[in-house]
Amino acid sequence: MLTLYYAPATCALASHLALEYAGAAYETVRIDFSKKQQQSPEYLQLNPKGRVPALMTDRGILTETPALLQYISQAFPKAGLAPLDDPFLMARVNEFNTYLCATVHVAHAHRVRGYRWADDEQAIEAMKKKVPQTMGDCFALIERHMLADPWVLGERFSICDPYLFTLSGWLKGDGVDIQRFPKVAEHSRRMAADPVVLKVLAAH
């Protein structure tokens, strides 16, 4: 049995969706950020990073969304969530997910968690100010170069799609109009109508 530690409105949504799409048997544990539960001694014992998502497996805890997504696709190969045996296409998957994690998520985090990278209040404000531009630039690149139709990889639905859906859901809060990116907007609409997504979002 897998256990996903998650919090609403975080990138843990991507792994939660992937578990559903994989048909995995799993439980969820909600971490309450308003009570700083992610920094509690009990949670830090499990995951010293003090963040979500984290996935407890029978061999230990795993963290980092791209790692969780690939793990889910490999542990449940029948669901066909990644082109596991094609090194080039698998690299496309990892290239996409790494970009979301290390560039897009990081750009977004400068609006809400600037304290990670500066102590000065004015600096944190200056970071916030630039987020609409950086997030807009990221999604312009995704729209132009990285998103095939109808799914990220083209005809094949994969672990990239719930991750993109998760991060494109942050655009509004980041002051970016998703309609600037017609393919991203259509992808988001299509995902949002999926019964799997509706079910998982209800829990978030």
Instruction: Looking at residues 37 to 66 of the shown chain, list those that interact with its own copies (rule: CB under 8 A).
Output: 48-49, 57, 59-60, 62-66
**Which of 41, 87, 193, 195 touches its own copies (CB under 8 A)?**
87
The alpha carbon of 12 is separated from its chain's Cα centroid by a whole number of angstroms, namely: 6
Q: Among candidates 63, 77, 89, 62, which has minimal Cα distance to 24? A: 77
- Cα–Cα distance between 204 and 201 in angstroms, integer? 5
Q: Is 74 in the site for its own copies (CB under 8 A)?
A: yes
Q: Which listed residue (144, 172, 180, 199) binds its own copies by CB under 8 A?
A: 144
3-state SS record for 59-86: CEEEECHHHHHHHHHHHCHHHCCCCCCC
> Is residue 16 a contact residue for its own copies (CB under 8 A)?
no
Q: Cβ of residue 107: shortest distance to its own copies, in angstroms?
A: 7
Count of C-beta atoms within a 10 Å radius of residue 98: 12
Applying CB under 8 A, does 102 fall inside the site for its own copies? yes
Q: Could you say whether residue 123 binds its own copies (CB under 8 A)?
A: yes
Bond from prior residue into 150 cis (ω within 30 degrees of 0) = yes
Task: Please say whether the beta carbons of 81 and 19 come within 8 A.
Answer: no
Minimum distance between the CB of residue 74 and its own copies, rounded to whole angstroms? 4
Chain residues in the site for its own copies (CB under 8 A): 48-49, 57, 59-60, 62-68, 70-71, 74-75, 87-88, 90-95, 98-99, 101-102, 105-107, 110, 116-120, 122-123, 126-127, 129-130, 134, 141, 144-145
